[in-house]
Amino acid sequence: MSAANGEEAVRLADMLVGAHLAACVQILPEMESVYRWKGQIERQAEILVIAKTVRSKFAEFEREVRAIHTYDTPEIIALPITGASAPYLEWLFTSLTPESSTGRRTLSPPQA
């Protein structure tokens, strides 16, 4: 998804991770988007936000993003994982489980 500015990106990231709707959210630096909106070609600086979640969380993820996003039509898309390491997937699923915040989590996030 994209956000209008860094403050909105951080607000979205904090909400998604805090609500266990995303295991990780990456906020990338400002970029320029060129798109068609209401019949006009627009240019706008935006922040790219990438959230890692699972299909079963998508409906709630979308609902919560729409509730706080400033755009009328925020970019909310899902891309399939075509391959991933088993430890990363275990961390992803564990991070999306509320019990993981009680110290029952056995894995640490993958190192960059």
The first and second tokens of residue 70, run together, are 């400033």
* Structure tokens given for 45: 């600086």
3-state secondary structure of 99: helix
The tens digit of pLDDT for each residue in 26-59 reads: 999 999 999 999 999 999 999 999 999 999 999 9
Q: For the chain, what percent of residues have pLDDT higher than 90? A: 87
Residue 100 pLDDT = 57
pLDDT at 98: 86
Q: What is the pTM of this model?
A: 0.84
**What 8-state DSSP symbol labels residue 98?**
G
Structural domains of the chain sorted by starting position, each given as residue range(s) with its CATH number in brackets: 2-79 (3.30.70.120)
pLDDT score, position 37: 94
CA distance 78 to 41: 25
Q: Is the pLDDT score of 106 beyond 70?
A: no
| Count of beta carbons in the 10 Å neighbourhood of residue 35 | 12
Helix-strand-coil split of the chain, %, nearest 5: 40, 25, 35
In the chain, how long is the greatest CA-to-CA distance?
52
Task: Please determine, for residue 24, whether its predicted confidence score (pLDDT) is greater than 90.
Answer: yes
Please write the tens of the pLDDT for every residue from 8-21: 999 999 999 999 99
